[in-house]
Chains A and B, each alone.
Chain A
Amino acid sequence: MEKMEGSFAVEDMQNVQINIGAIVKEVEEWDQPMGPFPYPSIATLRDWDFKIMQRYKIMYSPICDRCTLCTYGPCDLTGDKRGACGIDQAAQQGRIVLIACLMGATAHCAHGRHLYHWCLEKFGDLPINMGDEILVDAPITRTIAGIKPKTLKDFGPVLSYFEEQVSQLLACTHTGQEGNYKDFESKALHASMLDHLGMEASDIIQMIAYDMPRGDENAPLVECGMGTLDKNKAILITYGHNLAASSEAMFYTEDNNLWDKVDIGGVCCTAHDNTRIGEGLGYPKEISEKYKDVGTKAKVAGAIGWWRKMVRGDVMDCVMVDEQCVWTDALAECSKLKVPIIATSEKIMLGLPDRTNDPVEEIVDDLVNFRMPGVAVLDPAKAGEVGVRTAIAVKPKRAAEREADPFLSEEDFKKYAESCTYCHACQFVCPPHIKIGDVVRAAAEGNYEPLSSTYEVCVGCRRCEQACPQDIPILSLYAYANKEYIRDHKFKMRAGRGPVKDTEIRRVGAPIVLGTIPGIIALVGCGNYPNGTKEAYDMAKEFVDRGFIVAASGCMAMDMSLYGDEEGKTIWEQYPGAVDGRNICNMGSCVANSHISGATIKIATIFAGRNERANFDDMADYTLSKIGACGVAWGAYSQKAASIATGCNRMGIPVVVQPHSVMYRRSYVGRTDKKEDWEIIDARDGSKVYCEPAPEHMLYIAETKEEAMLMMAKLCFRPSDNNQGRMIKLTHYCDISMKYFGCMPPDWHIYVRHASDLPLKWKEDMMKELETKHGWEIDWKRKAILSGPIRKMDVSFDPTNIERKIRVKK
């Protein structure tokens, strides 16, 4: 049956409404049979979740011991107390975790929903063409929804499914609904799986509509850093995650040949997406003909942690905010420096007047003459024009304002620095514990070095200023003392490449599953680092150098761009950008994280020939048992980071987070002293066998980058690793430990199954230790292990956690 379009008349009928649902094509072009779980509901994958939670014990760290959500409260839930509704501490924490994951998931999906409507309106329905090297496109959509989207409109039902699920899930958090912590967690895992679905839909929609790179390892190097913004031009900053309005600003600039008058710099993920526009396959024509490579003209001003530093550093003339990660005092911050702000999304209107229907000239005139500090313009095209024209026109006005009354003069700087009473109220609230009192006192004495050396450690939260009884604008002191730093802040970042190509999966699938590529490390997330942005670079460099596949995205990708080697080359210039060992790829913005989890599905389906269609637990089981991948969110701050990590966890990917991440309240931690937790099925015959704890944890909080790196290497072990892979992984695990800890890790031996697993450089010593310390039986003549390992070497071992994967039952 062909799909029919058009209209028909029903004579003699009045007031009749006919609703026709989706017309399903009779001929199905996808030859994969439908899997067991199309469009899974809340409880569909509960068994899988409970398997994860059996092995990885839910650990809660309550930040608040009370519940204050209903009128019976506040209820004290400390210890074994229960609230008036009967809820206990664990369930309450699970509830908060679910709410956080829903916040994150809906942020991404609502972003996708907006793009869906906007792109259909602007470009019409477009075929999803990912190029010749990506035939397994939308792997998460295929796995969860069981459909293979062919055009943008096919994401409509996918987004509707998401919206229904989150509505049901949010309902579960009401008082008198769910009351068991494990079920809250299962729901959080469900919400977070949906987050990855929403992210994938969002990124594919924008990739197709704006002709972004589709798996391009040679995506262009773009300019990154505050210093790249040309002060001779007007500077328009686009801040947030949704490119709808910022792309229009770029198109307006291109159409009117204004690039010599305005620089457009992005903050947070809008920065990524600006720099991806027009760099794809040359489709759709509207983009490729008029705006080819226009993305390379935009600049990455910086990651979220730099936002307030940029404002105080006076690097911008006008700001357009869209959605997500926009600090809610943006208007107040910008107003102080006479930077007009344009809110472009219904999600963030900042109390500004809605001027969507007013003429552009009038809006610009009001902003340029400071009659109002900002406006809301909800039509992206109009907002883009307003942004560019305002930036250009306001620049000289701002210069005049600055001339008349400098935002911070040398005299002001001294006065403020000298007014510090060394009370340490600032240090009480500083997340990375900067000794701000010492820093300001040194500045008062004319020594700006501490203001410089701690500039990258400062996360720009402004809590210090609020705590200061003297009202010292500490961030402004930082900006004043770091003028040269800001001017020289010039780097290169590879534009987001988009998804992993099928050809890349064919190349790396076997080495990853066998372990000879030691792992995939995904460095994702925000800018709340415990010890400065440099750690983003250090971690990436350590693992690329070791031959891991390193994937980056979001603000962490931007922050690792700010450093270079001896020759000044950034990490993107030092290494190629393919999905391969000793490569580093920038996947793109926050929503491009879906390509990392999607890549694990692609390994299962392309390399191992598994059917992904509506088959989530199978894909997750394959990932958990065979794909040595580890996510790292070292600057994680947001609820989106919580849902991304939790979604990875449901997919079988462990994640390491930074110490501030205790604010997420929940982690998943394994117990190596419980042998029974590590029982696994051999799919060959269904026998249950014990395995080493691999991966040992599912969501791990590290105190320092050194600990994080050791754990990243460790969490890449998988039950399926062969001898060579095991040896390579052990080499890195032990080598990182020796390098940063000064000793071998205490548990290296549990990953050994055979003497050939032992790294050659330590083999002799290790065998001695196995014999003397751990009581293993060694045949020294043959240099063989006779007994001791948790599991012996077995090259055809086929680990699984799902009974239906058993091939021949005993």
Chain B
Amino acid sequence: MSTLEIKDLHVSIEDKEILKGVNLTLNTNEVHAIMGPNGTGKSTLASAIMGHPKYEVTSGEILLDGENVLEMEVDERAQAGLFLAMQYPSEIAGVTNADFLRSAINARREEGDEISIMKFIKQLDKTMDFLEMPEEMGQRYLNEGFSGGEKKRNEILQLMMIKPKFAVLDEIDSGLDIDALKIVSKGINEMRGEGFGCLMITHYQRLLNYITPDHVHVMMQGKVVKSGGSELAQRLEAEGYDWIKEELGIKDTNAVVEEA
């Protein structure tokens, strides 16, 4: 079993503090959902875990099986087993999806032990088939000209090919129609199990109809303010966030605006 621990994490962007002491522990074989209104720092948490260059961790810790993640470069974090399905994946012209994926897989293997092209293609075809992606998407340039839904599906394709220990999914459900949402969920559910842990960030309970989380956390004003089981998500869906604000005495006046 692997563990990802986030301890009292404070994160700023351009000297503005967004995260104000986040605590969270994930184990493999667990699916966590983080919910919360816009601008409460959910995406900032995702970016800080992966090491986005614009976010500055001012204090706190992120540990992966006791190793200090914050000292690692972005690629080292990925090699250590972290994955972030991004809300806005970059488009990279001239680099085919397949070539990119093969580079990502080979980056995890020793020189001279690269994955055979046949084996790679077989695995890619199978996974794309599972995600109902047309074969030509392997030869298209990485995310270039992809629709919003295609980009999300492509993030899940990468997740399934790379097989990380922990995946953070940043609003993987945004902009998806119901059919695409089902396929993306199918991919995530396929990954579930021993050796895989997941942190899903979402505004909407809708995603959780397809992926039942083991734990649900609510973030407000840069902190995790409430945690519970999947029933918490259902209550949020039914009643919104006001009851939590009331319960905790949170006022909206100083809500954080930034949500990259």
Tell me if chain B binds chain A: no
Residue numbers of A with Cβ under 8 A of B are none
